Each structure stands twice: as structure tokens, then as C-alpha cells.
Amino acid sequence: MAMSILKLRNLSGLRSAANSARIGVYSRGFSKLAEGTDITSAAPGVSLQKARSWDEGVSSKFSTTPLSDIFKGKKVVIFGLPGAYTGVCSQQHVPSYKSHIDKFKAKGIDSVICVSVNDPYAINGWAEKIGAKDAIEFYGDFDGKFHKSLGLDKDLSAALLGPRSERWSAYVEDGKVKAVNVEEAPSDFKVSGAEVILGQI
């Protein structure tokens, strides 16, 4: 009898692991962002700042973009990273999405978005430097409120970066999170790349 119960428990655990792999096993426990979360409700009143030059910022009267404009009625892949001009972000994370942009379009994705705890002017210069602005939409989270609302904020003072974010990715349909992946450490690049999220769409 005891052996039968043990086998059932093991089978249940394996099924749970398989289901987690399908929907995004890589979500960390402390994050508020999970499958089924309405991302706009999780960050009420929060807006992002589209990457732009300083002159464009002035001409737009420093406008921001509500989350509902970004997510509602759309299929969106979004990934967050610790900061513009940093190593893994520039050399691996953004390039993975840039090189797979046609595959995302083929799957009906309306937009692929990169967000970072930076002002929109710094992230604009960085996006232009790495040649990714035509393929990916870049947004700044200048005060970190977006990431903090989602439980994805991270203190990276040890690397002289101050308050930043985890490295993560998510697939969102009409504001609802369908899959989310968060790296164990911001320096890691194992689960937040384009190849993983493509398999979750």
C-alpha cells in the first residue's frame, strides 16, 4: 500500500513538472508575475516611456505610454533586463530576440518589447548602437515602478547599478500572462532568451 502511494506521488510530481515546463517552469516564487496574471492590473497606474531622443522627448512633452496601450488586444512578447550597455544584455539577450524576430511574426506576435530600468534617452541610444530598434520596441522604466509592481525589481548596487530588475521574459495575450521565465540571477542567460519563449507561444 505504501509503495502504491509513493508511486502515485512520484507520478503526480512528474505530471506537475511536465505542466510547469509547458507553461513556464522558470517563474520564481517571489515574483507577482505568473501565468494568468493581468499585467495591467498588477501594475495599476504605471506607464512606460518609449525609447526616444531628448529632442523627441521635449516635442512629445515627455509623454508616457499606459500599459493598456501596449498590451490590450495584442499578442506581445516582452523581456526585461538589468540595464542598457551592460554585457549579457548587449551581447546575448537583445541579439537573441533580434535574430528570431521573423519567427515571432510568423507566430502572430504583434510586438516584441524590451524594457529596462533606464531613462528612455539612454535606452534609445543603446538600441540604436546595437542596431535593434527596427526589430524590437524599447521602453524605459525610469523609476522602476513597473518592475517593482511585478515583484521583478532587483538591487544591483554591488555592480554599481543601483535599483534595477531581474532578467526575465513573458508571453502576454490581451494583457494576460501566458508564460513567464525569470533567471536565477541577472547575470544568467538560460531561460529568458527568444528560443525558450518561442516554444511557449
The count of other CB atoms within 10 Å of the CB of residue 105 is 13
Give me the residues paired with residue 115 across strands: 80, 139
The rounded distance, in Å, linking the Cα atoms of 148 and 45 is: 13
Task: Exactly one of 39, 89, 115, 170 is catalytic; name it.
Answer: 89
The count of other CB atoms within 10 Å of the CB of residue 162 is 11
Question: Is 114 annotated as catalytic?
Answer: no
C-alpha cell at 18: 511536465
The rounded distance, in Å, linking the Cα atoms of 77 and 74 is: 10
The count of other CB atoms within 10 Å of the CB of residue 132 is 21
The rounded distance, in Å, linking the Cα atoms of 147 and 36 is: 17
Q: Where are any strands of DSSP class E within the chain?
A: 47-50, 65-66, 75-81, 111-116, 137-140, 153-155, 163-165, 168-173, 176-182
Q: How many residues does the chain have?
A: 201
The rounded distance, in Å, linking the Cα atoms of 136 and 130 is: 11
Active site members: 89
